[in-house]
Amino acid sequence: MRPVLLPASLEELWPLMRDHPGAAFMAGGSDLLVRLRQGLVDPPAIIGLEGIAELGLVHDEAPGWLFLGAGASHTALLEHSLVQRRLPLLAQALAVLGSPLVRNQGTLGGNLGTASPAGDTLSPLYALEAQVELRSATGSRRLAIADFILGPGRTALQAGEIIYGAWVPLAQDWSLAHFEKVGLRQALAIAVVSLAALISLDDGGVVREARLALGSVGPTVVRPRQAEQALLGRPLDAASLKAAARLVRQEVSPIDDPRASAHYRRQVAGNLLLRLARPAD
């Protein structure tokens, strides 16, 4: 029998991790239970994290930052007033993640740890340039999300560490925060392509800063830097977006899978930019 351990605090967690090397962490289980059933993983023990209350915290106590606890469920985040007010981009993504049942069960930490290029919270967190805090018995460290996620299913998490939460900088007010997920149906569908976009415009409607993050078009979320660059100093009109879209299609590296072809993903990754077009005033 596989032990299932349920620590009630971080103090209880650390010795359990020491005594059960190789244990799998489980928060909501929406990924882990599927992989267990498919026989893809066979951990010697499971450590449930849902009893550790501080992992579910959401706060803005550190000036300029919003902290999102790894154990917060997607529903809890979606319903949190701070997320709704300060992170509309993330809220848009959470609203279309999985289904109500998956959102009730799954957590932000799980989405980070699973590190799927299709994780719906990841492209917003890349665009927001969030940092991931890792904790261990001996300390804490913070990594930029792009440094934390190394590849599909691979992260910088080391033995003895857990994902503690995400720190999102609140430095800017964005003119436009847009998330779009293209799935093969309207719920319970893994993204075929997703786009998270944050745009800052000056008073004349000219792009001052553009951050684009695309999911499901590469081994990790892709920030198409050339396309971002190409938008700077230009109005957010169809012509400039089409030019940026061409660059996006060059910067992504999608694959064929049963959901969609690489060709479709590449095409749509660019097309989605056109949704940002604003009528000229």
Partner 1 sequence: MTWPRPHLQLGLPPRPDALDKASGREKYACDFYPPGLLWAGVKRAGVPHARLRGLNLAAARALPGVTAVLAAADVPGVNRQGVVQKDQPVLVDDKVRYSGDALALVVASDQATLARALALIETDLEPLAPVLDPEEALLPGAPLVHPERPQGNLLLEGRVTTGQGAAALEGCAVVVEASFDLPRQEHAYLETENGWAQMGQDGRLTMVASTQTPFRDRLEVAEVLGLEPGRLRMVAPYCGGAFGGKDGVTVQSLLGLAALHAGGRPVKMWLSREESILASSKRHPARLRYRLGSDDQGRLQALEARIIYDTGPYDHLGGAVLTLGLEHAAGPYRIPHVDLHGQAVYTNNPIGGAFRGFGVPQVAAAMEQTMDLLATRLGLDPLELRRQNALKRGDVNPVGVTLAGSTGLAQCLEAVAGHRQWKEAPAWRAAAPAGQRRGVGLAAVLHGMGYGPVIPDVANAKVELTGEGVFRVYCGVVDMGQGNAGTFLQLAGLVLGQEAEGLELVLPDTDRTLPSGSSSASRTTYTFANALLPAAQALKERLLARAADALFATPAEMALVPGAVRHRPSGRTLPLAQLAKMLSPEERTATHRYRAPVVPERPSADPALQLHGLPHGVFSYAVHLARVEVDELTGLARVTGYLVAADCGQVLNPQVWEQQMQGGVAQGLGYALMEELPAPAGQPQHTDLATYLIPTALDLPPIECLAVPSWEESGPLGLKGCGEIGIDGPLPAVGNALAQALGRHLPQAPFTPERVLMALQEDGKGAGS
Interface residue with partner 1 among 185, 203, 204, 281 (CB under 8 A) is 185
What is the residue-wise DSSP string for 166-233?
EEEE-----SEEEEEEE-SSSSS---SEEEEEEEEE-TTSBEEEEEEEEESSSSS-B--HHHHHHHTT
Token pair listed for 109: 């930490």
Task: Please give the C-alpha separations between residue 149 and each of 33, 137, 223, 262, in angstroms, as whole numbers.
Answer: 22, 22, 13, 22
Assess 93 for contact with partner 1 (CB under 8 A).
no
If the CB atoms of residues 11 and 257 are measured against partner 1, the closer one turns out to be: 257
Provide the β-strand partners of residue 166: 68, 132
Strands (E), the chain: 4-5, 24-26, 46-48, 58-59, 65-69, 131-136, 139-144, 149-151, 154-155, 161-169, 176-182, 193-201, 207-215
Query: Of 189, 201, 206, 243, which lies in the binding site for partner 1, with binding defined by CB under 8 A?
Result: 189
267 is a site residue for partner 1 (CB under 8 A): yes
Contact flag: residue 261 with partner 1 (CB under 8 A): yes
Which one, 71 or 215, has the nearer CB to partner 1?
Answer: 215
**94, 192, 214, 227: residue in contact with partner 1 (rule CB under 8 A):** 192
Does residue 48 come out as left (phi exceeding 0), alpha (psi in the -120 to 50 range) or beta? beta
101 is an interface residue for partner 1 by CB under 8 A? no
Q: Residue 35 Cβ, how far from partner 1 at the closest point, in Å?
A: 12
Helix (H, G, I), strand (E, B) or coil at 152: coil
Going by C-alpha positions, the residue among 235, 232, 236, 266 that lies closest to residue 248 is: 266
4, 40, 187, 239: which one binds partner 1 (CB under 8 A): 187
Answer for which of 4, 9, 42, 99 binds partner 1 (CB under 8 A) is: 99
User: Is residue 258 a contact point for partner 1 (CB under 8 A)?
Assistant: yes
Q: Looking at 69, 113, 235, 270, which residue binds partner 1 (CB under 8 A)? A: 270
The stretch near partner 1 (CB under 8 A) out of 121-129, 133-141, 215-223, 262-270 is 262-270
**Per-residue interface string for the shown chain with partner 1, residues 213-242, x marking contact by CB under 8 A:** -----------------------------x
- Return d(Cα 221, Cα 146) in angstroms, integer: 8
Window 133-162: residues binding partner 1 (CB under 8 A): none
Residues 17-46 that bind partner 1 (CB under 8 A): 34
Q: Which residues lie near partner 1 (CB under 8 A)?
A: 34, 99, 182, 184-190, 192, 242, 245, 258-261, 264, 267-268, 270-272, 274-275
